[in-house]
A and B are shown apart, each in its own frame.
Chain A
Amino acid sequence: MFGYAWLMIAFPLIGAAINGFLGKKINNKKISGWLGTAMLAGSFATALAVFFDYQSRGLQGAERFVEVPGWTWIAIQGMSERYLHIDFALLIDPLSVTMMLFITGISMLIHMYSTEYMSHDEGLPRFFTYLNLFVAMMLILILGANIPMMFVGWEGVGLCSYLLIGFWYRNMENAKCGMKAFITNRVGDFGILIGLFMIFQQFDAYFRMHGMTEASALDFKDILLNANAVLSVMSPADALFIALFLFLGACGKSAQFPLHIWLPDAMAGPTPVSALIHAATMVTSGVYMVTRLNPVFSANETSGFIVACIGAGTAFMAATIALTQNDIKKVLAYSTVSQLGYMFLACGVGAYWVAIFHVITHAFFKACLFLGSGSVIHGMHEEQDTRHMGGLAKYMPITYWTFVISTFAIAGIFPLAGFFSKDEILWQVAIWDSQFKGAASFLYWLALFTALMTAFYMGRVTWKTFLGKPRWTAEFKKKHHHPHESHLPMTIPLMVLATMAVISGAILFTPGWMTGGEPREPLAHFLDVSAGGPEGLMLYAGGTGAMDAQIHGEHAEPAHGEDAGHGAEEAQGDGHAAHHEPFMLLGGSVTSTEMIMAFGSVLIALIMLILSNRRYTGDYDPKKKAAQKAFGPLYAFSYNKWYIDEIYNNILVRPGVWLSSKAWQIFDVRLIDGIVNGVAKVLGALGELIRPVQTGFVRNYMLYLLAGAVMFMLINMWSYLLGGAS
């Protein structure tokens, strides 16, 4: 149905191939750069076409998962009749459509930006090769119809990320940062592999037991449509472990505690890379994966609670660190970690569509912020330390205004995008209905406090960079006099992204207190079946498939499509009212509570922005070190990133090095080498022993042949006599 969706992946792959193989031959940075951008434009156009096509078809229920067959990758018949079938196939469903739209769109803008940003770099064709390859891999990740394909994409984006972090590999520090990202992600991969294996094991056993020969335990569609049936017969411990292992994988990719340490270091790569991979797209793939397999996470309230706690905790921790960092990209990096924490918080409380909503809005404003910082770094000639900036607004007006808009958006100022998504997350936490309701109120306050800090540190970095007195280094002043605004290829993406940072929130969602009745939730309705909305839940319970509804009585809900749709509307309608009450009621009603909470958070954010503005403009001088003096150990704690790198170094790395060197001495040198050498010696001796057999004389060889023939006959006769006897 959507066969042309393959084009979306093909375009960047072609771009990568051309730039990769012919880049040196072409030897023209303009052509290389714009070729890469054009390929992404093609991808984006395809994504739009898929989206409109998908919308116009008006698919319902399980039909909304459309599999686009590609070709068979591996088909192996096992011992039983079942085939292990792994196909190259795409899954077009609301979630993948949503993801691909903003991924291709933002990628296109960032490619365009890079044509200018990287124009002085010798390795530009290589850069665009990696960048195009990254987009192709990202699309495979989100569009893959089965687990192996997702994993191909998962590792593919990891590889590209690693290559791009170490893009300037001649600098050893950068190469080390790449390795850090790589190793940290291996820990996460361990988790996701175990999780995926367990899913396969459990679902495959179920499908085999129930003779569902058509269903594949690797296929997302089959997994989702039979999710509840399988999960209900699974032991709760298994379900919990699957969720936790998968979440460990998500932590690795999406930089959540305790695996967040690689992301700030990943800023060693070129800034467009930070914007594309380490802010807008790749790091959200953990959120994507959790949403894709959301029934597994919803099956168990404990796993949801753990996800929410890690999310909120990471959001808080990263925000405190961001308060004191001086490198403009480091602040943004920790801000990304913090925002990703929000997304997992939303996932944890079961509001998957809200997580995706925040993924989208965050992609816009964070990409804009990163590109803005890139523009600043470009204008300041590779200066990244905000202590040496200040007063840039006058020279870089477009960068300044887009940066301010995005700052306001991330701070959650009404009516910018961040306000809608972040506030909805806070609201979903407030109304979370589970056995952990009490703890949820704590998470709410934590998230709210994080929002407060977000507004402050974002205000700090913005004002410090653009306002106040210029604190440029003497060297810079001597060489360049003053910074310059970037050219159009860099500023156009900034303006587009800033526009999206303004409007994307209100387009996708309007809360009930604003509409004066039902909330307007087009994104929630669109994502419903993929993101555990009411209709989705019914599908996961076998609502339209109705295969196992009878067997597992507790899930036997009305099976007909119409009923399901009707039920969905009802559930949607009272989702904000009846059984989801916030942990406290302000002003007596749910609606007024929501409104008051929203106003409260906007007010806090505004105060923080104003405070930071007062603090970091005027006669602010970092040399006074006012904050260090005022907060002492707290400042040091934050500035040193909670000493987590040091802790890892002392607890894991050093003992690991010691242990591995010992292990090497004991196991490798003595044991393994001993065995291997021993075996080799024995085999070698044996070889020496039989070597004389190879005489080189034909007469001997003929004798062997004859002996072999006689042996053949004897064995045949022996078997014959045995067979005859039986």
Chain B
Amino acid sequence: MILALQSTLEAGHLQALDRSLMIALAPVVILTIAVLVLLLVDYFGRKHPGPQGGISLQNASTITIASTVLALLGTLGTWGWLNTLPNGPSQGLFPSMIPSASAARWDFAPAFVVDHFFLFVCLLVCVVVIITSLNFIPFLQRKERYHAELFPLLLLSAIGMMLITGSRDLITTFMSLELLSLPLYVMCGLNDKNRLNKESSLKYFLMGAFASGFFVFGAALIYGMAGHLNYTVIQNMIAETAQSVDPVMLIGIGLVGVGIAFKLGMVPFHAWVPDVYQGAPTPVTAFMATGVKVAMFAAATRIVLECLPGLQAELWRDALVLFACLSMLVGNLFALHQMSAKRLLAFSAIAHTGYLALGMVSGTPASGSAVLFYLAGYTFASLGAFLLITWMAPDGQDDVFLDQMHELWQKAPKAAICLTILLLSMGGFPLTAGFFGKFVVFKEAWLAGLSSIVIFALLNSAVSFYYYLRFVIAMYMTPAVPGEASLNPRQMPGGYVFSMVMTVGLTIILGVLPQLLLGALDLTNLGS
């Protein structure tokens, strides 16, 4: 951002800059202020140092939700404002700073771009934060363990998610990646008395640190070859040497790919996913499963579309396609017989990573918007499902087992119907958002010539219905055996009701009227 500032100064756009920058980065700016406010209020509110006192759960969550709603509105405002820019809606902000061929300007090349792609991810992240916060409140009230750092961490991670999508520079990407990850490591260990939480936190941290090393090393190799970290420069460099690309460059791309694939949870970098998802507090799991996936896929798609177009697809794609197929296969196979709902959804998330990766590697002009549509559908379904799991979980247990769900239909019909819709959407049932998500992603992959892989993916998504329908069978068709541990659903708090209406409603609306979003996403197409 500093670089961007500098180059704007040079271009003599000082007048436009300060205002534009604030508008353009509205979501990030607002959330950053919120983090500061939360921390300061907490600090000055304490009478004694130590874990006691500090900002109350209610105040912290209120500030968080209010500021995120504000950020959401700000994002919408920026979305409209971008359209009014003279260079047209498709260019994104700071077009004058996108480096031209002249070498002198490369040093000041921008590290960041604000375009509709970025803004849409901001919207999704805001929704994720709002619903996660709503999810946290009753969860924490029930568990009676609450740390004041929680909400600032949540927001910091969200800021990282936003920044990584707009980043156009490997260093900025790396910084955002760490900003996104570090708070999550802490949040996974939310309850320091809970063994599972601690295990989850430590595993995630160790693995994450390991994977980050790959990313940085890859970035260093790329820097060595291209002489720069900016995407456009890398793209130009690759395009110039397309005929004789250096193998070191390929290794660099591969290592960066490993770093990202780890975060995405692609097989064989996935091993942490089930353990961490299951061990983390459920609201954190929901946040990880949706927010991280959205941000990392957006970042990966931007790299594919803005760094790699000049490169022959075979040179970088084959490994990722293989990993995508493995992800689908392994995710679905492992999910088949899981009894823990969280672990099952973790494996299903790995399978979804496989489908999404197909869209990402297809590299067609519309693949960006296709991936975003899929992400939106997946986010809503996943958020809703994890929310219901949090709500259903019996006391003293932060998970639900499938055999505890027997006769849920009789006990809580509305929740059962909601969960059914959300799971059907994950499976890709027509008239849900998940169906159109799969449709557009597979269509892009097909257009990119991956037809046999698409057929493989379709078979896989057919298999996935097996375990999604296991929920349905458990909820509707299996009678509870007397004496068997079964759920005793509690009253649903207002925040949950709101979240359910939002997620289920959006799932159905996007399934029936996909054009509402597909039309808007036309603006988010990336690429040259």
Query: Do A and B originate from a single complex?
Result: yes
Residues in A660-684 with C-beta less than 8 Å from chain B: 680, 683-684
Specify which chain B residues have a CB less than 8 angstroms from the CB of A704 in the assembled complex.
268-269, 271
Q: Is the CB of A716 within 8 A of B250?
A: yes
A708 within 8 A of B: yes
When chains A and B are docked, how far (Å) is the Cα of A709 from the Cα of B262?
A: 10
Q: Confirm or deny: A657 has a beta carbon within 8 angstroms of a beta carbon on chain B.
A: no
**Pick from A74, A690, A696, A719: contact of B318, CB under 8 Å:** A719
Asked if residues A716 and B251 are in contact (CB atoms below 8 Å), the reply is yes
Q: Mark B308-336, 1 if CB is under 8 A from A, else 0.
A: 00001011101100110000001001101
Q: B337 in the interface, Cβ–Cβ < 8 Å?
A: yes
B316 touches A708 (CB 8 A): no
- Contacts A716-B254, A717-B250; is A708 near B269 (CB within 8 Å)? yes
How far does the alpha carbon of A425 sit from the alpha carbon of B271 in the complex, in Å?
76
Q: Is the CB of A716 within 8 A of B315?
A: yes
Give B256-310 interface residues, CB cut-off 8 Å to A. Answer: 257-258, 261-262, 267-269, 271-272, 274-275
A712 beta carbon closer than 8 Å to chain B: yes
A588 within 8 A of B: no
Q: How many residues of B contact A (CB 8 A)?
A: 48
- Cβ-based interface call for B515 (8 A): yes
Give the residue of A71, A76, A708 whose beta carbon is less than 8 angstroms from that of B268. A708
- Of chain A, the residue at the smallest CB distance from B313 is A719
A698 & B207 in contact (Cβ 8 Å cutoff) = yes
Contacts of B515 in A (CB 8 A): 71-75
Residues of A within 8 A of B319 (CB): 711-712, 715-716
Q: Given the complex of chains A and B, what is the CA–CA distance between A680 and B268 in angstroms?
A: 23
- Which chain A residues lie closer than 8 Å to B330 at the CB level? 690
A694 to B206, CA, bound (A): 17
A683 to B314 CA separation, bound complex (whole angstroms) = 31
Shortest Cβ distance from B246 into chain A, in angstroms?
Answer: 9
Given contacts A707-B268, A711-B319, A713-B251, contact A694 B257 (CB under 8 A): no
- Asked if B253 is at the interface (CB within 8 A of a chain A CB), the reply is yes
A684 B336 Cβ-Cβ under 8 A: yes
Q: Does A445 contact B (CB under 8 A)?
A: no
**Cα distance, A75 to B366, chains bound together (Å):** 14
Contact of B257 among A73, A690, A712, A720 (CB under 8 A): A712
Residue of A76, A694, A712, A718 with most chain B CB atoms under a 10 A cut-off: A712
- Specify which chain B residues have a CB less than 8 angstroms from the CB of A696 in the assembled complex: 275
A704-B269, A711-B268 known; A717 vs B247 contact (CB < 8 Å): yes
Q: How far is the CB of B516 from chain A (nearest CB, A)?
A: 8
Quick check: B318 and A686 within 8 Å, CB to CB?
A: no
Contact A719 B210 (CB under 8 A): no
Q: Mark B331-352, 1 if CB is under 8 A from A, else 0.
A: 0011011000000000000000
Q: Are A694 and B271 in contact (CB under 8 A)?
A: yes
**Could you say which of B210, B253, B254, B447 has the most chain A C-beta atoms within 10 Å of its C-beta?**
B254
Which of the listed residues A76, A715, A716 has the most CB atoms from chain B within 10 Å of its own CB?
A716
Residue B211 lies at the interface, judged by CB distance under 8 Å to chain A: yes
Whole-angstrom distance between the alpha carbons of A687 and B271 in the complex?
A: 15
* CB of A630 within 8 Å of the partner chain: no
Residues of A within 8 A of B318 (CB): 715-716, 718-719
**Partner pick for B258 among A71, A686, A709, CB 8 A cutoff:** A709
In the assembled complex, the Cα of A701 lies from the Cα of B268 at a distance in Å of: 9
Answer whether residue B466 sits at the interface, using C-beta atoms and an 8 A cutoff.
yes
**Binary contact track A168-185/B, C-beta < 8 Å → 1, others 0:** 000000000000000000
Q: How far is the CA of A687 from the CA of B255 in the complex (A)?
A: 29
Residues of A near B333 (CB, < 8 A) are 683, 686-687, 690
Contacts of A680 in B (CB 8 A): 336, 466
| Residues on the B chain within 8 Å of A72, using CB | 515, 519
Residues of B within 8 A of A76 (CB): 443
C-alpha gap A701/B208 in the complex (Å)? 11
Listed residue (B245, B319, B366, B447) with the most chain A CB atoms within 10 angstroms of its CB = B319
CB distance from A171 to the nearest CB of B (A): 24
Check if B210 sits within 8 Å of A708, measured CB to CB.
no
**DSSP class of A's interface residues: helix, strand, loop or mixed?**
helix
Assuming the contacts A708-B268, A711-B268, asked whether A720 and B258 have C-beta atoms less than 8 A apart, the reply is no
Min C-beta distance of A216 to chain B, whole Å: 15
Of the candidates A686, A716, A718, the one whose C-beta lies within 8 Å of that of B253 is: A716
Tell me, in angstroms, the Cα distance from A151 to B271 when the chains sit together.
Answer: 48
Q: Which residues of A contact B466 (CB under 8 A)?
A: 680
A211 at the B interface (CB under 8 A)? no
Residue among A72, A683, A687, A709 having the largest count of chain B Cβ atoms under 10 Å? A709
Cβ–Cβ contact A709 & B315, under 8 A: no
A691 contact set on B, CB distance < 8 A? 334
A550 at the interface (CB under 8 A from B): no
The docked-state distance in angstroms from the alpha carbon of A705 to that of B261 is 10
Q: Does A209 contact B (CB under 8 A)?
A: no
What residues on A are CB-neighbors of B203 within 8 Å?
A: 698, 701
A687-B334, A705-B268 given; A723·B262 CB < 8 A: no
Asked if residues B336 and A723 are in contact (CB atoms below 8 Å), the reply is: no
Task: State whether the Cβ of B513 lies closer than 8 Å to any Cβ in chain A.
Answer: yes
User: Is B138 at the interface (CB under 8 A from chain A)?
Assistant: no
Please, which residues of chain B bring their CB within 8 A of the CB of A77? 366
Verify if A27 is at the interface (C-beta below 8 Å from B): no
- Using a CB-CB cutoff of 8 Å, which residues 196-221 of chain B contact chain A? 202-203, 206-207, 210-211, 214
Complex partner residue of A73 from B202, B268, B275, B513, CB under 8 angstroms = B513
A705 touches B519 (CB 8 A): no
A705-B258 contact, Cβ under 8 Å, with A719-B314, A719-B315, A722-B314: yes
Q: Are A702 and B514 in contact (CB under 8 A)?
A: no
A157 to B364, CA, bound (A): 42
B269 and A705 within 8 A (CB)? yes
Contact partners of A628 in chain B: CB under 8 A: none
Considering only residues 172-228 of chain B, those with a C-beta below 8 Å from chain A are 202-203, 206-207, 210-211, 214
Measured between beta carbons, the chain B residues less than 8 angstroms from A201 are: none
B431–chain A nearest beta-carbon distance, Å: 12
Q: Is B518 in contact with chain A by the CB < 8 A criterion?
A: yes
Question: Are A701 and B207 in touch, CB under 8 angstroms?
Answer: yes
Cβ B262 vs Cβ A705 within 8 A:
yes
C-alpha gap A684/B467 in the complex (Å): 12
Give every chain A residue within 8 A of B247 (Cβ-Cβ).
716-717, 720
Q: Inside 8 A of A720's CB, which chain B residues have their CB? A: 245, 247, 250, 315
A72 to B518, CA, bound (A): 10
Q: Please, which residue of chain A has its CB at the minimum distance from the CB of B440?
A: A76
A residues near B202, Cβ cutoff 8 Å = 698
Instruction: Please measure, in the bound complex, the distance between the C-alpha atom of A723 and the C-alpha atom of B463, giving whole angstroms.
Output: 35
Contacts of B257 in A (CB 8 A): 712
In angstroms, Cα B333 to Cα A696, docked, is 18
Distance in angstroms from B317 CB to nearest chain A CB is 8
B80 to chain A minimum Cβ distance, whole angstroms, is 18
Residue A700 interfacial (CB < 8 Å): yes
* Separation of A337 and B253 alpha carbons in the complex (Å): 73
Minimum CB–CB distance for A89 against chain B, Å: 13
Report B42 CB to chain A, min CB distance, Å: 33
From 485 to 528 in chain B, residues with beta carbon under 8 angstroms from any chain A beta carbon are: 513-515, 518-519
Contacts of B214 in A (CB 8 A): 709
Instruction: Give the shortest distance, in Å, between B134 (CB) and chain A (any CB).
Output: 23
Tell me the smallest distance from the CB of A706 to a CB of chain B, in Å.
Answer: 8
Q: Which residues in B have their C-beta under 8 angstroms from that of A719? A: 314-316, 318
Cβ contacts under 8 Å, A687 to chain B: 333-334, 336-337
**Contact assessment for A712 and B254 in the assembled complex, using a CB-CB cutoff below 8 Å:** yes
Residues of B within 8 A of A686 (CB): 333
User: What are the nearest 3 A-B pairs in CB distance?
Assistant: A708-B268, A701-B271, A715-B319
A–B pairs, 5, beta carbons within 8 Å: A73-B513, A687-B337, A694-B271, A701-B272, A712-B257
List 15 other contacts, CB 8 Å, given A687-B334, A712-B255, A719-B318: A72-B515, A76-B443, A684-B336, A694-B271, A694-B334, A698-B202, A704-B268, A705-B258, A705-B271, A711-B319, A712-B257, A712-B319, A716-B318, A719-B314, A723-B315
Chain A residues engaging chain B, CB cutoff 8 angstroms? 71-77, 79, 680, 683-684, 686-687, 690-691, 693-694, 696, 698, 700-702, 704-705, 707-709, 711-713, 715-720, 722-723
